[in-house]
């Protein structure tokens, strides 16, 4: 990801144009804050988990996926890893993909 000091994130071409430099962000982290969303805009499936994940010192906002969105299954401090998931399909059948985090399985 590319970002600025004030926390805004930019598409890579725009970021380079305004002088931002790439920053490596860990792909695993720990769940620091979350909410289970039960009301959303029309067409957005609920419930889902909106979260802030600490990725080795960098806070990243993303949804928690691949887990039942209940307080029994989602908890502060749980270890998560970056993943991608389908978020919709346009009228031509092209699938849009988003990023989120899924729980890391305990071994």
Tokens at 83, concatenated = 């993943």
Tokens at 24, concatenated = 């490596």
With a cut of 90, say whether residue 65 has pLDDT above it.
yes
Share of the chain above pLDDT 70, in %: 80
- CA distance linking residue 55 with residue 27, whole number of Å: 7
With a cut of 70, say whether residue 80 has pLDDT above it.
yes
Confidence of residue 88 (pLDDT cuts 50, 70, 90): confident
Query: 9-61: per-residue pLDDT in tens?
Result: 656 666 667 776 677 899 999 999 999 999 999 988 999 999 999 999 999 99
The per-residue pLDDT for 53 is 97
- CA distance linking residue 57 with residue 1, whole number of Å: 14
- State how beta strands 58-64 and 48-55 pair: antiparallel
The per-residue pLDDT for 44 is 87
């Amino acid at each position: 990801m590319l970002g600025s000091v004030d926390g805004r994130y930019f598409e890579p071409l725009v970021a380079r144009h305004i002088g931002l430099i790439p920053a490596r962000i860990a792909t695993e982290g720990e769940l620091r804050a979350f909410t289970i969303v039960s009301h959303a805009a029309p067409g957005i499936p609920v419930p889902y988990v909106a979260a802030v994940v600490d990725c080795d010192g960098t806070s990243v906002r993303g949804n928690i996926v691949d887990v039942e969105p209940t307080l029994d299954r989602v908890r502060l401090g749980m270890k998560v890893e970056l993943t991608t998931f389908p978020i919709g399909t346009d009228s031509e059948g092209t699938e849009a993909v988003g990023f989120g985090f899924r729980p890391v399985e305990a071994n």
